[in-house]
Amino acid sequence: MKPAVARILLTGATGGIGREAAGAFLRAGARLMLTGRSPQSLAALARELRDRHGLAEQDLPWVVADLREPRELERLAEHAAGWQCNVLVHAAGAPAFGALHAIDAATMAAVMQTNLIAPMQLTRAMLPSLRRQPGAQVLFVGSVLGAIGLPGYSVYSASKFGLRGFAEALRRELADTEVKVQYLGPRSTQTAFNGADVQAYNQATGTAMDSAASVAAALLRMLEDEEAERFLGFPERLGVRLNGLVPTAMDGSFRRHGRSLATLATLPERTGS
């Protein structure tokens, strides 16, 4: 889809990737509706973007919504449908890093709700209005960890593997409609989403991190070229292919990650991601 005709509902707009994506979409000429949980953060971001791009207040609407609450998801979908949204970008997410025994049940539930259940429910709520558009797209910001499971990311990977599976099945389900379903799998990104423990883990395992701006640029390209699935970074893209073909053969490749995770667990407590 050409950005000039895109009317994008962007979840997680005040996050690291969300903020960069908002700027990239607006620079390309798209219309944007922002959503997030904090009215203060949304209002500040909207003011910043309006000033930067010379927009009037009515040209950049925003809606406060907690994606963990089904009623608020329905209300958000109604706002977006009334605004004639034709692109839904799921950029909201919750982190979880650490050995499984260190992650409590409440965190597990919150991660699965935010990363998997909420995008499923919002997509379902938006589908009737999206299908009425002459062309529409649903773009999920997933992770390379939705195709490769790493030590320390068992809960997070479960949410993103689920999201990727949902996107794949829905893409095939809607193949004969005008709604295109897409999945972007970034690797580790330099945002506040990843705390000091993740950065130490990445350094110990030689894992590269991309800027949020580069992920936003990839989102814009996917909007334009309508590619079904894309993963970012090398050797991550190769790893996704190999892991899909021979997953158990890849197990030995991640022993250093397991050892690094065990080492981190013995260090003084860090700020989590």
Task: Give the residue numbers annotated as catalytic, written as ranges.
Answer: 156
Closest CA to 188 of 170, 172, 205: 205
User: Number of C-alpha atoms within 13 angstroms, CB side, residue 91?
Assistant: 29
Across the chain, which distance is largest between two alpha carbons, in Å?
56
State the Cα angle at 38 between 35 and 39, rounded to 5°: 80
Helices (H), the chain: 16-27, 39-53, 70-82, 105-112, 118-131, 154-173, 196-205, 212-225, 236-245, 255-266
Alpha-carbon gap, residue 221 to 2, rounded angstroms: 10
Alpha-carbon gap, residue 24 to 214, rounded angstroms: 10
Residues near 65 by beta carbon (within 8 Å), at least 6 away in sequence: 35, 36, 37, 72, 73, 75, 76
Contact 252, 30 (CB under 8 A): no
Alpha-carbon gap, residue 110 to 19, rounded angstroms: 22
Contact 247, 156 (CB under 8 A): no
Alpha-carbon gap, residue 250 to 203, rounded angstroms: 21
